Structure 1
Amino acid sequence: MDIRGHVILVDDEAMVRQSTEQWLKVCGFSVDSFACAESAMQAIDENFSGVVVTDVKMPGMDGLELLREALLKVSGMPVILLTAHGDVDMAISAMRKGAYDFIEKPYVPERLAETVQRACEKRRLVLENHKLQQNLVSMSGVDARIIGVSPAIQRLKRELVKLAEQDTHVIVYGETGTGKELVAQCLHEYSHRKKHNFVPINCGAIPESLIESELFGHEAGAFTSAAKRRVGKFEYSDKGTLFLDEIESMPANLQIKLLRAFQEGVIERLGSNTAIEVDLRVIAASKVDLRDDDNFREDLFYRLSISQLHIPPLRERLEDVPLLFNHYLKIVASDHDKNPRTLSVHDHSTLMSYQWPGNVRELKNIAIRFSLDADLSVADILMASEGMSHTSKIHSKELSLAIQVANFEADVIRDALSFHQGNIKLTMEQLDLPRRTLNQKMIRYGINRNDFKC
């Protein structure tokens, strides 16, 4: 059986401790049990990947002291308190001080296992985030420019480094937002042309009437608004790299001139008959396969496609999402002189369940909003970006069932509190929930009753 998580169990009552340990082991957890908090503290350190489950009332160091000392020793360590019925108010207060959750005795075994599982997932995520931060710090070279550890992105980086040295023309394929220009920049920066200009131009963003002048330049008087000579992108990128983004949108008449420039290594400014030699590398980027594009010249395609790179969409390398997200959180935090926000288990699950139609560009935008607004979860931002209200029900197939259910439950509680203007008693009655259960869910979802008072 796979280990679901590791548990440090603390209870001074031998029979209770033994029965709880047996149940957790049956549920697939690895358990180290202790009769006193002092002994348990010796087993808690930064590398411990599990959680602490402790009774509150014990001789010597009690559960609240253990909570305090454990959090001082390991920030964010999930500590679950086992409390008697009369200690519920105290337990709620303890949760505000950092306890992960509390379970009232006599506890329901299934609920204990469920709570421990969630806590273990949170601890695992914290350790993964810490490892991600370490990886980001240690990265250098192309690894620091193109973030990712998935097999697909590792293969892309190997091919990129190899092509950078070959100085051939390259076509970079990738969906919108995958980072085609970044790949082109890396091809330039790791080539012998790196000391010369990298010149990007978006072929789809320039009006057809201006693109020839942008590429080849013009002499004064070449056309009505040409008041003085202008150097074009081809000439400006001499001995460097010219990046033609969205080359599939290049007008047909210009494709012929591009082909001549690539074949002969010369250009002419508009309004001039003088041939200008240019030595440059061309990197073209496209969202579509140019081989299948009837509007793209076949001879130009073969001239450019000496080498090709394919950037995988983000949905095909989801294992890179946490690393990328933390990378942008760190950048935003540094820019605003603040500590990076930490992802919750819910945030992490949302990131991994989403399909990222906008790829890395979309992820970067979500990370920026998440970093700057501590009141928003990742799910909140994704819902807002899709034009849905905060309290709307989620029916997105891009979120897992567990996340959709959790978001729906949180919205129902918010609606009830709003309707009753923050009155807990009336909210309990409407939702048919015990006070303790409602409190737990409000804490879990970060809901404050004061926000709904008039």
Structure 2
Amino acid sequence: MHEPSATPVMIIDDELHLRITAGQTLELAGYAPEPHASAEAALEHLAPDFPGVIVSDIRMPGMDGMALLREIRLRDPDLPVILITGHGDISTAVEAMREGAWDFLEKPFAGERLVEVVRRGVEKRRLSLENRRLKAELEAQQNAPGPRMVGRTEVIQRLVSMVQRISQVETDVLLFGETGTGKDLVARSIHERSSRSGRPFVAINCGAVPESTIESELFGHEKGAFTGAVERRIGKFEHATGGSVFLDEIESMPLALQVKLLRVLQERSVERLGANVPVPLDIRVIAATKVDLKAAAEAGNFREDLYYRLNVVTLPIPALRERREDVPLLFQHFAVVAANRSGLECPPLDTADITALLAHDWPGNVRELRNLAERYVLLGATCDYRLDALLEGVGSETGDLALPQQVELFEKSLISQALARHRGRINEVCGQLGLPRKTLYDKLKKYNLKAEDYRQSAMP
């Protein structure tokens, strides 16, 4: 009797002895053989997203192997079909490969050859279904409110909860986090989850706009307000009416301009340069900084009154090293996005890849990880998809993590990945990880992981 979590393999042949022999060979190798005497019978039992592979003889009464291959290609072109040909029938094998067969076996074949071809086909199928599932989730997210914040760690789930809560109330927000942590994503999430989602989201990088023009950019100007002002200009604040203004790198805003920003926040109105009539504003302001504004205020580099006005609600954005367990999941997410956009394949990560991801210190945070995932998809084939080669020169320091902490972090990440892949199905997770049920339950308790959290969706 095969294990409940074993991968199914359909064996289709009108010869009973071949079905029995191939079935015994595959069962001993850990697979779950499903024998069928005809192609018609097999098709009746072929469910959508069948997780295994098909092994079929070509020459059979009724529907033969080539006709079966064509029918399966119509139903699911990613399902590997392995065809069995007669001795010396090379022309049939070539035709089968042209029709899209995964591989072929020439009679008589050794059991080891059958197991090896099936093993490669099963791995290909697992990758195809994984990408299909993730692409479906990405498409579903297009209709969901707000950009997606991916992660299972407590710190990111707490942030998601806070974003949801803050978006429902009308208050200005200050985001604090290192470069690359995704402050712009959080700002957009707040906007898209709020009642202002149908109105403009206007993003301004205070560190990128020249000091000579930033006042005009933000507040606008009247015709003739200064040399070169040949016509009226509506500023960013006024343009965002009804929506949200995102002021990134607000620590870079000139001190003189901070006075005017404070007045805008307090009075909810703006005066264009060269005008005397205030324009009322209906906006939410979301500011972001990578420095401690209180310390900057104490040092005289930021206005203290503006700091306290912005500090009504402050959301700290965690650095990636503070949620290392999310790294493999995030990498997979970004890789699938890149593969979906480019039409390229997205090979799955192996244990060595996950180790490399967890070991890296990620000074560039999520932005650095996203760039690596895109290089993995676009350039990975040039280095056999070796992450260590793509990370070469970047460094992989583990900071202050001791070896036992690294081992526990790696183990928890592998278990979390298995739970996500199998949607919380304990039998399948045990099968993949090679763990007895009691051992797995002990580890779930140790790492505060709950299988039910993974049953609705493989990724949050």
TM-score scaled by structure 1? 0.64
2:72 is matched with which residue? 70
1:397 is matched with which residue? 388
Q: Given the alignment, which residue of 295, 307, 310 partners 2:314?
A: 307
Q: Any idea what the Cα deviations from partners look like across 1:142-163, whole Å, max 9, x if unmatched?
A: x254246643676555433321
Change (3 A) 1:362 1:392: closer
Checking the alignment, whether the CA contact within 8 Å between 2:376 and 2:387 is kept in structure 1 is no
1:168 CA displacement: 1.3
- Aligned-pair identity (%): 44
1:121 CA displacement: 3.1
Structure 2 counterpart of 1:151, which letter? Answer: R
| More displaced stretch, 47-56 vs 296-305 | 296-305
1:98 is matched with which residue? 100
2:82 is matched with which residue? 80
Distance 1:278 1:50 in 2: 60
| Structure 1 counterpart SS, 2:213 | helix
1:418 is matched with which residue? none
| Structure 2 counterpart SS, 1:397 | helix
Structure 1 counterpart of 2:329, which letter? Answer: E
Structure 1 counterpart of 2:236, which letter? Answer: K
Give 1:261-272 correspondences, 5 Å limit.
261-263=264-266, 265=268, 269-270=272-273
Structure 2 counterpart of 1:98, which letter? Answer: G
2:329 is matched with which residue? 319
Distance 1:89 1:312 in 2: 58
Q: Any idea what the Cα deviations from partners look like across 1:380-419, whole Å, max 9, x if unmatched?
A: 7235xxxxxx86787641669xxxxxxxxxxxxxxxxxxx
Distance 2:41 2:256 in 1: 80
1:206 CA displacement: 1.0
Checking the alignment, whether the CA contact within 8 Å between 1:148 and 1:320 is kept in structure 2 is no
Q: Given the alignment, which residue of 365, 378, 383 partners 1:381?
A: 378
1:17 is matched with which residue? 19
Q: Any idea what the Cα deviations from partners look like across 1:177-225, whole Å, max 9, x if unmatched?
A: 7764454344334434456654332212211111123223345555433
Q: Any idea what the Cα deviations from partners look like across 1:342-376, whole Å, max 9, x if unmatched?
A: x64x54559x9796969579969998xxxxxxxxx
Checking the alignment, whether the CA contact within 8 Å between 2:383 and 2:389 is kept in structure 1 is no
Give 1:400-439 correspondences, 5 Å limit.
none
Change (3 A) 1:38 1:361: same
| More displaced stretch, 357-366 vs 286-295 | 357-366
| Structure 2 counterpart SS, 1:208 | coil
1:146 is matched with which residue? 147
2:445 is matched with which residue? none
1:97 CA displacement: 0.5
Q: Any idea what the Cα deviations from partners look like across 1:73-121, whole Å, max 9, x if unmatched?
A: 4433211123455134432331121111123455454443343233223
Does 1:5 pair with 2:7? yes
Structure 2 counterpart of 1:68, which letter? Answer: R
Structure 1 counterpart of 2:314, which letter? Answer: S
Change (3 A) 1:86 1:144: farther
Does 1:51 pair with 2:53? yes
Q: Given the alignment, which residue of 241, 252, 255 partners 1:249?
A: 252
Checking the alignment, whether the CA contact within 8 Å between 1:2 and 1:28 is kept in structure 2 is no
Q: Given the alignment, which residue of 113, 124, 127 partners 1:122?
A: 124
Change (3 A) 1:32 1:399: farther
1:253 CA displacement: 3.8
Checking the alignment, whether the CA contact within 8 Å between 1:169 and 1:307 is kept in structure 2 is no
Distance 1:95 1:175 in 2: 52
Change (3 A) 1:187 1:90: same
Q: Any idea what the Cα deviations from partners look like across 1:18-51, whole Å, max 9, x if unmatched?
A: 3432232232212112344443333223242211
| Structure 2 counterpart SS, 1:243 | strand
Structure 2 counterpart of 1:304, which letter? Answer: L
Structure 1: stretches of 5+ with no match in the other structure: 333-339, 368-377, 384-389, 401-454
Q: Any idea what the Cα deviations from partners look like across 1:270-303, whole Å, max 9, x if unmatched?
A: 4567766645321113455656767555553443
Distance 1:114 1:182 in 2: 45
Checking the alignment, whether the CA contact within 8 Å between 1:53 and 1:81 is kept in structure 2 is yes
| Structure 2 counterpart SS, 1:49 | coil
Give 1:175-324 correspondences, 5 Å limit.
180-181=183-184, 183-193=186-196, 197-218=200-221, 222-227=225-230, 230-238=233-241, 240-263=243-266, 265=268, 269-270=272-273, 278-287=281-290, 290=293, 295-297=301-303, 299-305=305-311, 306-308=313-315, 310=317, 316=326, 318-319=328-329
| Structure 1 counterpart SS, 2:100 | coil
Change (3 A) 1:144 1:382: farther
1:246 CA displacement: 2.7
1:327 CA displacement: 6.5
Distance 1:33 1:393 in 2: 36
Distance 1:129 1:380 in 2: 13
| Structure 2 counterpart SS, 1:77 | coil
Change (3 A) 1:90 1:166: same
| Structure 1 counterpart SS, 2:47 | coil
| More displaced stretch, 239-248 vs 59-68 | 59-68
Distance 1:65 1:230 in 2: 68
Q: RMSD value over aligned CA atoms?
A: 4.5
| More displaced stretch, 308-317 vs 53-62 | 308-317
Change (3 A) 1:24 1:252: farther
Checking the alignment, whether the CA contact within 8 Å between 1:218 and 1:269 is kept in structure 2 is yes
Change (3 A) 1:323 1:362: closer
Distance 1:325 1:164 in 2: 29
Distance 2:8 2:304 in 1: 61
TM-score scaled by structure 2? 0.63
2:428 is matched with which residue? none
Checking the alignment, whether the CA contact within 8 Å between 1:200 and 1:245 is kept in structure 2 is yes
Distance 1:87 1:273 in 2: 90
Distance 2:383 2:333 in 1: 30
Distance 1:117 1:393 in 2: 20
